Chain A
Amino acid sequence: MNIDQENERNQSYIETLGKELFEKIQNSKVLVVGAGGIGCELLKNLVLSGFKNIEIIDLDTIDLSNLNRQFLFRKQHIGMSKAKIARETVLKYNPNVNIIAHHGDIKTTDFGPQFFKRFDLVMNALDNLSARRHVNRVCLSVDVPLIESGTAGYLGQVTVIKKGETECFECQPTATPKEYAVCTIRSNPSAPIHCIVWAKMLFGRLFGVADESNAVTDMDDNLVQGDPEKPETVVRDTQLATEKAKGYKQWVFHKIFYTDIDKLSRMKEMWKDKSPPKPLLLDSQLNNGDNSNNTTTTTNGESNHQLKDQKLWSLHENITMFLECLDRLKERNEKDGSLTWDKDDEWSMNFVTAASNIRSSIFGIPMKSKFDVKSMAGNIIPAIATTNAVIGGLIVMEAIKVIDGRLKQCNSTYLFKLPSRKRLLLTSTLDKPNPNCYVCSPQNISLKVNTQKTTVLQLVNDILKKNLSFSQPILTVGNDILYEGGDEDLSTEEIEMRKNNEKKVMADYRLSDQVLLKVEDYIQDFQVSILICHSDEMKEQGSGSIKKEEEDKWFQIIGKAEPSAPVQTQPVQSIANPSATSTIMDTDDIEIVEQISTDASTYSKTTTSVSASKKRKEMDQPSEDIEVSKKLKQHNE
């Protein structure tokens, strides 16, 4: 392309932006994190707005369900790298730009602070909380401005983050993901979601990586009543062995829908106020033939079900489907090794639908259609082209201001569903950093915990990684490194030693009261000092009372913003707070806090993370959090 052509092409930009700014744009280097719905729009807009040096990263591959909005992809691209195809498609239309595509995980050492330093601006087009927090921390550490964005259905949001000048992504609290007590899941379900979570656990138990903490069932245990120590009290289900001899699917069905249920139904204490679950025998169910119009209907029986997936299966259909799933998944398991549950995999989804519905039927809970189960199991957030287009456009408006050094004029913008009064977009100025933010202000935090009861592993996994979003924490007390994550630099002995240390309770590993613990993360280039405060009052993890709100109170972090303040008293910025919009984004993770074991007398203390798929999936948006839409709405009015 010659100069004249290029000038003619860019005429509009030069006229409206001015030559100087347009050159700044052309010379800038920018990073786009995420090549999903927003990422596609963003890449297109950047290229057609004069940006010439762009890198884009995404670890995901293209899925059929992306094609209703991620317009740089076609059917023939399914299974390929999003970042790479996005680059190819854009270059086809605009060969004169430099785009580098990375098919990889932004949270790994390949993309540490050195990588980020190369850019004048980073733009997040991400879906999940942990990656967003990670990018936030790295951008703060290398002082590169970050534009943060998200969409959910018709809602969307864009904001700008700059070290020392604006709020960072973690200045405002985010709600924690929904949690269910293990006893509810395992023994006492009362809603469809409980059975769905159970079915996902069962999937992991049967076909996933062996995981001791997955307590959903013990396949060979046929004890249904009594204490094994006192043989005279014991009742066993001898039928289990017979079924096992018949074959795999007979065995599994009998175990989970007969033996386990039989055992539960014998716990008279639990069924004082409601009818006990009824064990199902496979043979009698199959002989029953088609008992369609079975017992239950959906709670929300309003819509006219026309789609196959929206039809409610009868109990008999669920059983047939469940057995077929067992066959198919077992075969795949034997061929490919352990399976990871994926909402977009047909048979994984059929399995969870059928298994959860059979269990629901046993407990007298309404069954759900596959479509609805998918929503709940996959935590699916609606996503459409229109919202992404608006958000993609808004990001570039902010990007131009950042590149032009006009940070003061940058805004936070929210897109609403319904134009109320005069607003479809709500724009507000950027807030100052929260001086109490442990991420962007140098700040110590305190951890109140029972150091006699909490293990090092719980500290690392549940507190440091899950709650404080460290990727690979290194724990130091004084000059001694106590704990180092990641396996790359460690010898087998060191890993072995680490495993032993993980089992210790904190107090036995120098992490006792009033110790100042330094936690560092090299990938995030982030560190924080934590003062450990022992408290006898803090419960053991998972031993909280049955009341929902107390489930997660086994540790407390002081000095970190906590989600609690009522909406009305919040300032504008936090009502429509980006982090609030982006709460339940680790979509495949449903955390289970184990409370009481089925035998009410013993307390157990495992935490199971039903993490179906740890990979960041395609979602380009935070969740349609009802709270958020409420908050947005309230503000809008």
Chain B
Amino acid sequence: MSQTTGTDTEKYDRQLRLWGEEGQARLEKSSICLLNGTATGAETLKNLVLPGIGAFTIVDNQKVAESDLGNNFFVERQSLGQNRSKVVCELLRELNDRVKGSSVEEDPIHLINTNISFFKDFNLVIANRIPEEPLLTLSQYLYENNIALVVVNSYGFIGYLRLSVPEHQVIESKPDTPMDDLRISEPFKELEDYANSINLESLNSQQHSHIAYVLLLIKFFNAWKSTHGGKLPETRPEKEEFKKFFISKSRNYKDELNFNEGVTNLLKAFQPSRVPSDVDQILKDPKTSELTENSDDFWVLAAALKSFVEEHKKLPLHGNVPDMTADTLGFIKLQNIYQDKANEDLSDLTGRVESILSKIGKDTIPQEYIKKFCKNARFLHLARYRSLNEERTQPRTQVITGELEQPDNLMVFYIVLRAVDKFFTLYNRYPGFNDEDIDSDQSLLKNIVNQLLSELQIPTDLVKDDYVNEFTRYGASELHNIASLMGGITSQEIIKLITHQYIPLNNTYIFNGINSTGANWKL
């Protein structure tokens, strides 16, 4: 893992607080390729160079034109006529001296068609304005080599983004409001014993108001169970009744903050700890039972977790205790109880990992990684993106039709953009690119839209002519502002992909700048 120096820690301070040093190290190891240094491409890279990716390469054989000066911040007047990949590369490099940048003056389409292995060493490829056919070639190659593909285009007021990765694993999905893992309704032995050891009647009022609510609930759940056939409150009235019972046990409910906290957290406390469906899916994945020495660490850990859950019927305990009203010593005791149990679960899991490793003959997995996996067991996430080829050979017609039937839907833009791609393939220019062709291009594009819809077995009246005309009017123009915004959205998703933190969008995103709306679908 690369060590960030003191100065960089300071420079990167505000982002380290978001994705931590491990996220930063992943960024710094990444190598990203951009096809075409347009405004959209350059703005996307800008937001990746600033936080410090390892290296980028721009492939582009176009020369800087007057139109680039109008929409691309990373070209200058004196660079008119020079190779765009070189100019954009130089100006982007100025943003961060730790990032390596290089340019390849070659037509990306030609490169795809003649030397596809050029892409094998990148972690991620950003394709901008690549026609359908070479894009599918590229997509297939990248998919086979487990390299992420990000397609981004800005077209008039419309932005399009498509991500594709064969398998994306997220250990730190960092949910906004993670539930505390306190096991109140099914306490482990040490916790229950501690709760039982407290005799509330013997406490003075100060002490009574400083028993952590977790312990209070465990005690009163037990008391309830003893008079209700060993069962916790299940129905709503029962839960209400328990609440009254619980409050009645407070000596002075107004001032006993611990009892107040108990009531606040009551609903959460009723929840038994379950294996979330995302995680369950990972545990059921065939990969957990097809391990070889070449298996990813992730799958080895998933297999170990699966055996843990099969035995204990629960995920490993997280071990963190949120702040709550309690006296200091009592709180520390409680923290230790949870921490000890979490450590016990971790060593249990580690043991399972080791036995799997020795069975399949694979090297050890760093303890830190096992620990991180264990702590995040409730939040694991796995995504298998559909490839661009699948999108075309097995279209999600139902999703598309369903959306097209909605008023003011954004799916129409997806359809028209697909048609624009086909238009380009057929005529080697974008619709409306030449002012004099606007009228004829409109009908040409309309035909392609209808053809596409019929292929997808979608009624053709679901895409209004207005949209076709609007796109023809755009004439393939790229507005800086939309490019910049799409660059922001795209780079944000790329950072999620590279850092393996947070859940990136899956898989298509359309932005409509006219009213600042966006939508995403799995297509």
How far is it, in angstroms, between the C-alpha of A381 and the C-alpha of B13 when the chains are bound? 10
B94 at interface (Cβ–Cβ under 8 A)?
yes
Which of chain A's residues have a CB closer than 8 A to the CB of B50?
67-69, 71, 385
B198 at interface (Cβ–Cβ under 8 A)?
no
Q: A13-B479, A71-B46 are in contact. Are A307 and B21 (CB under 8 A)?
A: yes
Count of A-B residue pairs with CB < 8 Å:
225
B15 at interface (Cβ–Cβ under 8 A)?
yes
Which of chain A's residues have a CB closer than 8 A to the CB of B43?
389
B502 touches A273 (CB 8 A): no
How far is it, in angstroms, between the C-alpha of A67 and the C-alpha of B52 when the chains are bound? 11
Partner of B516, one of A303, A308, A397, A633: A397
Which of chain A's residues have a CB closer than 8 A to the CB of B145?
none
> Min CB distance, A29 to chain B, in Å?
19
Partner of B10, one of A65, A93, A409: A65
Question: Which residues of A377-425 have CB atoms within 8 Å of chain B's CB atoms?
Answer: 380-394, 396-398, 409, 411, 413, 417-419, 422-425
User: Residue-by-residue, is B206-228 near A (CB-CB < 8 Å gives 1, otherwise 0)?
Assistant: 11001000000000000000000
User: Residue-by-residue, is A350-370 near B (CB-CB < 8 Å gives 1, otherwise 0)?
Assistant: 000000000000001000000
Nearest to B66 among chain A residues (CB) is: A8
- The interface centre, meaning the residue of B69, B320, B511 with most chain A CB atoms within 10 A of its CB, is B69
- The interface centre, meaning the residue of B13, B329, B473 with most chain A CB atoms within 10 A of its CB, is B13
B364 at interface (Cβ–Cβ under 8 A)?
no
B20 at interface (Cβ–Cβ under 8 A)?
yes
B509 touches A424 (CB 8 A): yes
Q: A68-B12, A384-B18, A388-B488 are in contact. Are A413 and B516 (CB under 8 A)?
A: yes
A180 at interface (Cβ–Cβ under 8 A)?
no
A393 touches B502 (CB 8 A): no
How far is it, in angstroms, between the C-alpha of A427 and the C-alpha of B329 when the chains are bound? 49
Nearest to B24 among chain A residues (CB) is: A307
A175 at interface (Cβ–Cβ under 8 A)?
no
How far is it, in angstroms, between the C-alpha of A347 and the C-alpha of B13 when the chains are bound? 16
How far is it, in angstroms, between the C-alpha of A93 and the C-alpha of B94 when the chains are bound? 14
Q: A16-B473, A273-B206, A303-B20 are in contact. Are A74 and B94 (CB under 8 A)?
A: yes
A380 touches B177 (CB 8 A): no
Partner of B1, one of A306, A309, A385: A306
Interface residue tally of chain A, by bracket? Answer: 35 or more
Which of chain B's residues have a CB closer than 8 A to the CB of A425?
511, 516-518
How far is it, in angstroms, between the C-alpha of A392 and the C-alpha of B482 when the chains are bound? 10
A385 touches B52 (CB 8 A): no
B14 touches A69 (CB 8 A): yes
B17 touches A380 (CB 8 A): yes
Q: A5-B66, A8-B66, A12-B67 are in contact. Are A394 and B516 (CB under 8 A)?
A: yes
Q: Which of A41-49, A195-203, A240-248, A458-466 contacts B (4 or more CB under 8 A)?
A: A41-49
Q: A154-B502, A393-B484 are in contact. Are A49 and B95 (CB under 8 A)?
A: no
Which of chain B's residues have a CB closer than 8 A to the CB of A229?
none
- The interface centre, meaning the residue of A67, A422, A423 with most chain B CB atoms within 10 A of its CB, is A422
A191 at interface (Cβ–Cβ under 8 A)?
yes
A422 touches B11 (CB 8 A): no
A302 touches B371 (CB 8 A): yes
Partner of A154, one of B10, B46, B375, B492: B492
How far is it, in angstroms, between the C-alpha of A374 and the C-alpha of B482 when the chains are bound? 36
For B, the interface residue count at a CB cutoff of 8 angstroms equals 88
Nearest to A152 among chain B residues (CB) is: B18
Nearest to A388 among chain B residues (CB) is: B488
B519 touches A422 (CB 8 A): yes
A304 at interface (Cβ–Cβ under 8 A)?
yes
A24 at interface (Cβ–Cβ under 8 A)?
no
How far is it, in angstroms, between the C-alpha of A272 and the C-alpha of B13 when the chains are bound? 42
> Min CB distance, A360 to chain B, in Å?
12
Nearest to B254 among chain A residues (CB) is: A547
B298 at interface (Cβ–Cβ under 8 A)?
no
How far is it, in angstroms, between the C-alpha of A64 and the C-alpha of B456 when the chains are bound? 53
How far is it, in angstroms, between the C-alpha of A64 and the C-alpha of B518 when the chains are bound? 35
> Min CB distance, B335 to chain A, in Å?
8
B491 touches A386 (CB 8 A): yes
Q: Which of B70-78, B100-108, B235-243 contacts A (4 or more CB under 8 A)?
A: B70-78
B133 at interface (Cβ–Cβ under 8 A)?
no
A and B contact pairs by CB, cutoff 8 A, 19 listed: A9-B67, A15-B473, A67-B50, A67-B96, A68-B12, A69-B15, A69-B50, A92-B76, A93-B76, A273-B327, A275-B329, A306-B3, A382-B17, A382-B18, A385-B46, A389-B485, A390-B492, A418-B503, A424-B509
B contact residues vs A (CB 8 Å cutoff): 1, 3-4, 6-7, 9-18, 20-22, 43, 46-47, 50-52, 66-67, 69-73, 76-77, 94-97, 156-157, 176-177, 206-207, 210, 255, 257, 320, 323, 327-329, 335, 368, 371-372, 375, 473-475, 477-482, 484-489, 491-492, 495, 502-503, 505-506, 509, 511, 513, 515-521
The 6 closest A-B pairs by CB, nearest first: A393-B485, A389-B488, A12-B477, A9-B70, A390-B488, A48-B480
